[in-house]
Amino acid sequence: MAGLKELRNRLESIKSTQKITSAMKLVAASRLRRAQLLLDKSAPYSAQLSTVVKRIAAAIKEEEAEKNVRYLLPSLLRQPQNPKRYLLVVFASDRGLCGSYNQNVGRAAVQRAEELLSQGKEVQIICYGKKGYNILKRRHADLVVENLPALEPDLKNEAAQALQDKIQTYNADVSEIVYGFFHSALSREMRVEQVMPLPASVFELSSDETQLMRVGNAYYDYKPDKFDMLDKLLPLLQTNLIFKTMMNALASEHGARMAAMDNATRNAKDMISSLTLKYNSIRQSAITTELTEIISGAEAL
């Protein structure tokens, strides 16, 4: 009977754990939907902002070709010739129970830092999320200049603007963000996104995009001039780029946690099923033994 008592206690413990993991899965799913909703709501703004900047780029490049000149672009678009100082911003989590998500972010950050160090670059790291910091400090604690709580961005862009200001204070030649790019709840990839200066891709045009500056037979005109507009639009584009990395990191974290808790819940269900079968088998065996002893005693009388 001692075996039955142990199995009963273990079953109760696993059922309790299953309730917890199931609740955590629902919470993670709710937060994932919120992150996806924020990404979806910001998508039209992001697309239109990028289109306006590329439309101005097309106009500038056409004007350069006509006048045979080369304009000096705003500082946010100037790529340094031989960058020495790099700032890495790492988006991880304050909490665990999200599978290998934090390990993957930390591994990507360590790999990028070591790649830069091997090239003779100076590297500083700002880490959001204590789980990421716990991984980074094992290898490069001396590079971490700030360890901050994990981010909780919203559509107001306040967190993105605060990080944008913080990046500027370090005066690095190049600033990059290491984060998880969200594909789905089961799929994400670790990326390194340059945010300071803005990547050259924001000003590059495909063959289709060269027609952006034209609407039928009409052309766009700009007041103030194109460069004044760029001075106003590029900081907004940078804030939006930072915001998107934040939201992707948030969605990746909650997607990973939801998947991990779903696996834990299903494993608990399988264990409960297996232990219940074992419990019933032992219990049936004990009952059969007792009945046999009773019958044998009755026959002896």
The pLDDT, as a whole number, for residue 230 is 86
Is there a contact between 105 and 180 (Cβ–Cβ < 8 Å)? Answer: yes
State both tokens at 224: 């103030």
Q: What are residue 172's DSSP bridge partners?
A: none
> Can you list the domains of the chain with their CATH numbers?
2-30+259-300 (1.10.287.80), 31-256 (3.40.1380.10)
Residue written as tokens 């988006």?
A: 91
Is there a contact between 151 and 250 (Cβ–Cβ < 8 Å)? Answer: yes
pLDDT tens for the chain, 301 residues: list them.
457 888 888 888 999 999 999 999 999 999 899 888 888 888 898 888 888 888 888 778 777 777 888 877 888 888 888 899 999 999 999 888 888 899 999 999 999 999 999 999 999 999 998 898 988 888 888 898 988 888 776 666 788 888 888 998 998 999 999 999 998 888 889 999 999 988 888 777 766 666 666 666 677 777 778 888 888 889 999 999 999 999 999 999 999 999 999 999 999 999 988 888 888 887 777 777 776 767 776 666 6
The pLDDT, as a whole number, for residue 214 is 64
Q: What are residue 144's DSSP bridge partners?
A: 125
Among residues 136, 125, 157, the alpha carbon closest in space to that of 242 is found at 157
The pLDDT, as a whole number, for residue 211 is 64
CA distance 14 to 246: 36
Backbone phi, psi, residue 204, to 5°: -85, 145
pLDDT tens per residue across span 36-74 = 888 888 889 888 888 888 888 877 877 777 788 887 788
The pLDDT, as a whole number, for residue 254 is 92
Task: Using DSSP, state whether 183 is helix, strand or coil.
Answer: strand
State both tokens at 137: 């400090």
Backbone phi, psi, residue 91, to 5°: -100, 110
Among residues 190, 195, 193, 192, the alpha carbon closest in space to that of 105 is found at 190
| Identity of the residue numbered 70 | R
Going by C-beta distance under 8 Å and a sequence separation of 6 or more, which residues neighbour residue 99? Answer: 256, 257, 259, 260
> From residue 84, how far is each of 77, 80, 174, 200, 287 by CA, in Å?
17, 9, 8, 18, 78
Backbone phi, psi, residue 54, to 5°: -70, -30
Going by C-beta distance under 8 Å and a sequence separation of 6 or more, which residues neighbour residue 42? Answer: 155, 240, 243, 244, 247
Sheet with 144-148: list strands edge to edge. Answer: 144-148, 122-128, 85-91, 174-184, 187-196
CB neighbourhood size of 221 (10 A) = 9
State pTM to two decimals.
0.83
Cα angle, residue 293 at apex, residues 1 and 5 outer, rounded to 5°: 5
Q: What are residue 134's DSSP bridge partners?
A: none
- For the chain, the first-to-last Cα distance in angstroms comes to 27
State both tokens at 149: 């709580």
pLDDT tens per residue across span 157-174 = 788 888 888 998 998 999
Task: Using DSSP, state whether 197 is helix, strand or coil.
Answer: coil
Alpha carbon dihedral 122, 173, 106, 163, in 10-degree steps, equals 130
